Amino acid sequence: MEPLIKIENLTVGYDNTPVLENVNLDIFEKDFIGVIGPNGGGKTTLLKAVLGLLKPSGGKITFRKDIAGKKKPIGYLPQVRHIDRKFPITVFDVVRSGFLMKQKELSSSDLKQKINRLLDETGISNIRHKAIGELSGGQMQRVFLCRALISEPKILILDEPDTFVDNRFEGELYNRLIQLNKEIAIILVSHDLGTISSYVKTIACVNGDLHYHLSNNITQEQLDGYNCPIQIISHGDIPHTILKHHH
Ligand SMILES: Nc1ncnc2c1ncn2[C@@H]1O[C@H](COP(=O)(O)OP(=O)(O)OP(=O)(O)O)[C@@H](O)[C@H]1O
C-alpha cells in the first residue's frame, strides 16, 4: 500500500538551526498516530513541515499523487494558545477560512449551510456570530475543529486539541475522531498519556528525532526500551503517569 505521506530523512528547524534531524515516517490511510514528546521536542515543527508551513533543510516529504498539489486535503487544528484573540473575526468566518475548495465547486449559500450544519453538530451554532476574542478555550477548540473539518479532509492534524477543554467535550471529541478515522487518517499531538493509550493506533515519539511504535500500548519499560524521551502531562480523570525525562 502506498502511503498518503512519506517523510524521508527530514531535517527541519528555524534560522538554520535544526529542531528535527533525519526523521522518517510513512502515514497511511486510516492511520491514527499519536505524537508525543517533551515540550520543545519538535512535535509542532513536524506538523508544520507536513503542512508545508516550514521548508525542510534536508530530506523530503512526498504526498500520494491524488492528494498532492497546492490545496492538499489536510485539515489542521493548530494549538489554540498560539491564536491571536484580538484578531477581529467571527466564529462563522474562522470556519469558512478553512474551506479549501474552489468557490465554484460550492455556491456560497451551500457553503453557508454546510458551515451551519457543522457548527450545529459540534454544539456551537449559538455562538456563530461571536468574535473569537469572546470565546472560552473549549469553545475555541470546537471552532477550530470545525475549521479543520469544513473541507472534508483526507488527513486531519490536531495539535493538542485537549488543551482547555472540559471532560465532556474531550469525550465527544475523541468519539468523533474514532468515527472520522473510519474514513481518514489522523495525526494527533497530545501530552495526555491516557488519551494516547485509549484512542490512537500507533505512536510517534518526537524529541529531535522520531521513534515510531506500532502499538498504542505505552509503558515506562517500552519507552525506556525504545529510548523514547518523554514527559507526559495528563489531565481529566483518566489514570496517568508522569514519566521522568530520559535519553
Ligand atoms: N518560530 C520559531 N522560531 C524559532 N524557534 C522556534 C520557532 N517555533 C519553535 N521554535 C523552537 O523549536 C523547538 C521545537 O518547538 P516545537 O513547537 O516544535 O516543540 P513541541 O514539541 O511542539 O513543544 P510543545 O509540547 O511545547 O508544544 C523549540 O526549541 C522552540 O523554541
Q: What is the DSSP secondary structure assignment for residue 28, as one 8-state letter?
A: -
Whether residue 120 contacts residue 149, with contact meaning beta carbons closer than 8 Å, is answered with no
Identify whether residues 97 and 45 lie together within a single domain: no
Report which protein residue has its CA nearest ligand 1's atom 3. 14
Boundary of a domain, candidates 130, 152, 174: 152
Cα(43) to centroid of ligand 1, in Å?
Answer: 8
Whole-model pTM? Answer: 0.87
Q: For residue range 81-132, what is the model confidence (pLDDT) as tens digits?
A: 888 889 999 999 999 999 976 556 788 899 999 999 999 999 999 999 999 9
Cα(14) to centroid of ligand 1, in Å?
Answer: 9
CATH of the domain at 31: 3.40.50.300
Q: For residue range 191-221, what is the model confidence (pLDDT) as tens digits?
A: 887 777 788 999 999 999 998 887 777 666 5
Q: For residue range 19-69, what is the model confidence (pLDDT) as tens digits?
A: 999 999 999 999 999 999 888 999 999 999 999 999 999 999 999 999 988
Q: Give the position of cell 533543510.
A: 57
Cα(44) to centroid of ligand 1, in Å?
Answer: 7
Identify whether residues 180 and 241 lie together within a single domain: yes
Identify whether residues 47 and 92 lie together within a single domain: no
Identify whether residues 108 and 220 lie together within a single domain: no
Report pLDDT for 128: 96
Query: Measuring from each residue's beta carbon to the nearest atom of ligand 1, which residues come in under 6 Å?
Result: 14, 19, 37, 39-45
Report pLDDT for 83: 85
Q: Total domain count for the chain?
A: 2
One-character DSSP codes across 40-96: TSSHHHHHHHHTTSS--SEEEEEE-GGG-SSS--EEEE--GGGS-TTS--BHHHHHH
Tell me the average pLDDT across 170-190.
94
Mode of pairing for the β-strands spanning 74-77 and 210-213: unpaired
Task: Give the residue numbers spanning the domain of 105.
Answer: 82-152
